Chains A and B, each alone.
Chain A
């Protein structure tokens, strides 16, 4: 017990006392940081020497802690996303393989659900390319395929909730595999909103998302509107590292009230370099059991559910809090992006 406060942790010690206490706390935290292992620096020095050797020789090699990968190429080719298209009953399936040739751990950054994916594409100095191709899914460099369903449209306006997303533009027969790769230049200053991609061969711009009425029904909720969320946490500092997180507004993003939406399970990327939030459940997915819904709190976002509002699309920050059922730990992140809603 602290004698200065008579045990009251909320007692006001004054600004000066707070400063002293903060300094002591910082000192405690600094002292709690574990020292490096005995061989730590020898390992680091070995890694650095290996990188220098690689740079000098210019040959591709396996990184000391990462998978086999190609040597870095030109900046415009630093990241390459290949898309192969095929059809399913609900839209063209786009299988994406992301091979980041610049990082040791070649993060596979995109993972989306079986329906209504919203992709955030590269920003932050990276250039991503989408290319029409065959139906073969190439394995990610660190394992695992990425599959998302591509609901297409030629307009950014959302469909009505009962409108079934259709695939009318992309057809395998229309895809010109020899068409040039279309690149989407990176821009680290603008949060990614709705992903707009151009698929050579299909001849049109395709918008990813939003969610269909079937998806809503499948999730067993009674929405008063629909939302989808495209977001970025993408290489904010332009260092090219694996900080592209796709927060797919996939199977269930619903307006529950004016300030809260509940994600009825959200899939992050799995073992391949991005964030793990939980498993999720979806009729079209084998991704596993559902966890507790996520409650998303809006910041800097006004009321989004009013009968007079037909739709809204607004940049916002979402604060995602994840209560880990295994550890009872809270895990909170913020995601900037664009929320689009309609009623």
Chain B
């Protein structure tokens, strides 16, 4: 779903309704980034809520050098990382919970062990998980992800590549 240009303009002027519509447009991807880092359903909601409120509070400071979508991804990512770092004991979502999550409809179902994939994904470090989600699921470019994560483009590329290799191996094992 594409954002409406009118909402972008209105959101930048501080219109909460317009900003809310933008958030709903991008929420699936933003939520994916949060989940990739915190790996806990309740925490995902908390991170997203906090990040969305932060973002709206900072909307005046949005310079427009990047897209608002990228900017929001950055805020969600950083909020999620901060959340994780505050946790002295990170709790991991159990595989049971993952199993209860409706799986995707995939033409490759027969070749893929979803639980293995999700489990292997969980064993990656949070930042790499986010990079995989941002590039693969959200479809952002390496440059955009580098901006979001505050690392060099090459770092994103190498991390994603290594993670992909690992995930493929797990998926096929």
Question: Given that A10-B169, A276-B88, A331-B125 are contacting pairs, would A26 and B75 also be in contact in the complex, using a CB cutoff of 8 Å?
Answer: no
Q: Does B118 contact A (CB under 8 A)?
A: yes
Among A40-48, A81-89, A150-158, the stretch that binds chain B is A40-48
CB contacts (< 8 Å) of A20 on chain B: these are 108
Q: A28-B104, A237-B150 in contact; A104/B41 too (CB < 8 A)? A: no
Complex Cα gap A243–B58 (Å): 15
A17 CB, min distance to chain B CBs, angstroms? 9
Q: Which residues of A contact B89 (CB under 8 A)?
A: 326-327
Q: Of the candidates A32, A51, A242, A329, which one forms a contact with B53 in the assembled complex, judged by CB atoms under 8 Å apart?
A: A51
List residues of chain A with CB within 8 A of the CB of B145. Answer: none
Residues of chain B at interface, number, CB under 8 A: 84
B82-A104 in contact (CB<8A): no
Q: Is the interface of B mostly helix, strand, loop or mixed?
A: helix
Question: B14 and A241: CB pair below 8 A?
Answer: no
Closest to A18 in B: B168
Check B104–A30 contact: CB distance below 8 A. yes
- A1-42 contacts to B (CB < 8 Å): 1-2, 4-5, 7, 9-11, 13, 18, 20-34, 36-37, 40-41
Q: What residue of chain B has the Cβ atom nearest to residue A53's Cβ?
A: B16
Q: Which residues from B are CB-within-8-Å of A44?
A: 20, 23, 48-49, 52-53
Q: With A and B bound together, what is the CA distance between A102 and B54 in angstroms?
A: 9
Nearest A residue to B98 via CB reads A32
Interfacial chain B residues near A37, Cβ < 8 Å: 42, 45
Contacts of B46 in A (CB 8 A): 65
Q: A102: which B residues are within 8 A, CB to CB?
A: 57-58, 61
User: Which residues in window 50-98 of B have CB below 8 A to A?
Assistant: 50, 52-54, 56-58, 61-63, 66, 71, 74-75, 78-79, 81-82, 85-90, 92, 98
On whether A9 and B173 interact (CB within 8 A), knowing A28-B103, A28-B118, the answer reads: yes
Q: Does A131 contact B (CB under 8 A)?
A: no
Residues of B within 8 A of A (CB): 14-16, 19-20, 23-24, 27-28, 31-32, 35-36, 41-42, 44-46, 48-50, 52-54, 56-58, 61-63, 66, 71, 74-75, 78-79, 81-82, 85-90, 92, 98, 101-109, 111-112, 114, 117-118, 121, 123, 125-128, 132-133, 136-137, 147-148, 150-152, 155, 164, 167-173
